[in-house]
């Protein structure tokens, strides 16, 4: 049995294959989010000239915003009503929620990301890029990818990149 997560990525590309290759490259080079397998969902790769492009993009950005709202509500339920309350937050589950929220707001790709804009390294879409897509739609693609990890995946994979870990002399 494998755990899987689906991501919708906006990328540039001269054609479908180029766009999908850029998404594969992104996952291959991402050092924090690693999957045992990344599967491109062929039927869900959409060029910006396709009439459903903007609806799919909106679904993705809306899903990211909804996740932020849900996580903020969870923090509020835990007693964090004001920004000043965060100064007393202990490390633990709630600080991890805040960490995820911060990543979704600052454009840092994570396993919780639904939509990601590779062209701008963000979870949204700027007016400038929206205008560029409208002007040259054939050069932009939405690529849906499913990342999965096998059941035996090592949950402590991050230990390999933590800077505070040092090898014994």
Element (H, E) at 2: strand 2-12
Q: Is residue 37 part of a domain?
A: yes
Place of tokens 């080079």: 29
Q: Are 94 and 75 in contact (CB under 8 A)?
A: yes
Domain count across the chain: 1
Residue-range definition of the domain harbouring residue 80: 32-139
Domain membership flag for residue 48 = yes
Is residue 168 one of the residues assigned to a domain? no
Please report whether residue 159 resides in a domain.
no
H or E element, residue 74: helix 53-77
- What secondary structure letter does DSSP report for 94? H
| Residue 75: inside a domain | yes
**Phi (first) and psi of residue 133, to 5 degrees:** -65, -45
Helices (H), 107-136: 127-135
Q: List the chain pLDDT tens, one digit each, 169 residues.
A: 458 899 999 999 999 999 999 999 999 999 888 899 999 999 999 999 999 999 999 999 999 999 999 999 998 888 888 888 888 888 888 888 888 899 899 888 988 999 999 999 999 999 999 999 999 999 999 999 999 988 654 544 444 433 444 444 4
Q: Is there a domain that residue 41 lies in?
A: yes
Tell me the pLDDT tens digit for each residue of 144-164.
999 998 865 454 444 443 344
Residue 91 tokens read as: 């490390």
């Amino acid at each position: 049995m494998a755990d899987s997560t689906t991501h919708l990525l906006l990328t540039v590309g001269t054609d479908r294959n180029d766009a999908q290759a850029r998404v594969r490259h992104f996952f291959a080079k991402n050092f924090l989010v690693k999957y045992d397998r990344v599967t491109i969902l062929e039927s869900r790769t959409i060029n910006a000239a396709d009439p459903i492009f903007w609806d799919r993009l909106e679904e993705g950005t809306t899903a990211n915003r909804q996740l932020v709202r849900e996580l903020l509500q969870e923090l509020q339920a835990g007693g964090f009503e004001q920004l000043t309350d965060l100064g007393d937050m202990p490390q633990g589950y709630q600080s991890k929620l805040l960490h995820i929220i911060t990543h979704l707001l600052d454009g840092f790709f994570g396993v919780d990301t639904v939509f990601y804009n590779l062209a701008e390294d963000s979870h949204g879409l700027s007016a400038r890029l929206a205008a560029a897509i409208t002007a040259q739609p054939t050069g932009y693609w939405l690529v849906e990818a499913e990342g999965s990890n096998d059941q035996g995946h090592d949950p402590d994979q991050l230990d390999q990149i933590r800077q505070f870990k040092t090898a014994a002399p």
